[in-house]
Amino acid sequence: MEEEGGEEYLFKIVVIGDSAVGKSNLLSRFARDEFDANSKATIGVEFQTQVVQVDGKEVKAQVWDTAGQERFRAVTSAYYRGAVGALVVYDISRRTTFDSVKRWLDELNCHCDTTVARMLVGNKCDLENIREVSIEEGKSLAEEEGLFFIETSALDSTNVIAAFEIVIRAIYSNIGRKMLNSESYKAELSFNRVSLAKDGADLSKPNQSTCCSR
């Protein structure tokens, strides 16, 4: 769609990772500069749109957040459909969440093609005194898997904007405007909205994905 004075870019970015790693707080910090110390586990799917400037152009980042807990997740394929970026989040103070990263990457690879810009995010870097995963471990996993890497804190805001902006810039430089503005891409995004609204009515429905183990 052409807006007066320029083009419109819309990037769908998904945030994934185990429950309680801080996905929802990363999103609320990015979109509203808010942090909730008592946030509840996400049920179903939420998304927020944030406008950022890249090379003097306005880019809308539509960031999708879902439940880390399997029983609260809505239909997986709809969540990933049309995504061009992903943040895979773990908690630096809980090794089990780092061990899960490969499973989240498998799920991502299963639903999205490899051109998706991916960032490994070690969140809660404010918890240095109870750190269980070193920066080096995070970096080397990211290198192995071909991901960007960053440590963040949604609590004190460290690197939160940077994490999203690096992904947004990578998408911007990776993918031609033609494809992103194509009618089929827009149709997919609006289909997502409709189907999730319907699926959201029954959140107890088990994950219906057939190609992934998760």
Ligand X SMILES: Nc1nc2c(ncn2[C@@H]2O[C@H](COP(=O)(O)OP(=O)(O)OP(=O)(O)O)[C@@H](O)[C@H]2O)c(=O)[nH]1
- Amino acid at site 159: N
* Position among 42, 62, 76, 159 found at the interface with ligand X (CB under 6 A): 42
Residues 93-132 close enough to bind ligand X by CB under 6 A:
123-124, 126-127
Contact between 211 and ligand X by CB under 6 A: the answer reads no
Tell me if 19 contacts ligand X by CB under 6 A: yes
Encoded amino acid at 21, one letter: V
Counting contacts by CB under 5 A, is residue 159 touching Mg ion?
A: no
Binding flag, residue 85, ligand X (CB under 6 A): no
Rounded to an integer, what distance in angstroms lies between the CA atom of residue 192 and that of residue 199? 10
Q: Does 73 bind ligand X (CB under 6 A)?
A: no
Q: Which residue stretch of 18-26, 74-82, 172-180, 181-189 sits at the interface with ligand X (rule: CB under 6 A)?
A: 18-26
Q: Tell me the CB-side half-sphere exposure of residue 140, using CA atoms within 13 A.
A: 4
Kindly give the residue spans of alpha helices, DSSP state H, lying in 54-156.
Answer: 76-80, 95-99, 101-111, 135-145
Compute CA 33 distance to the chain's CA centroid, rounded to the nearest angstrom: 17
Amino acid (one-letter) located at 44: G
Q: Which positions lie near ligand X, rule CB under 6 A? A: 19-25, 36-37, 39, 41-42, 67-69, 123-124, 126-127, 153-155
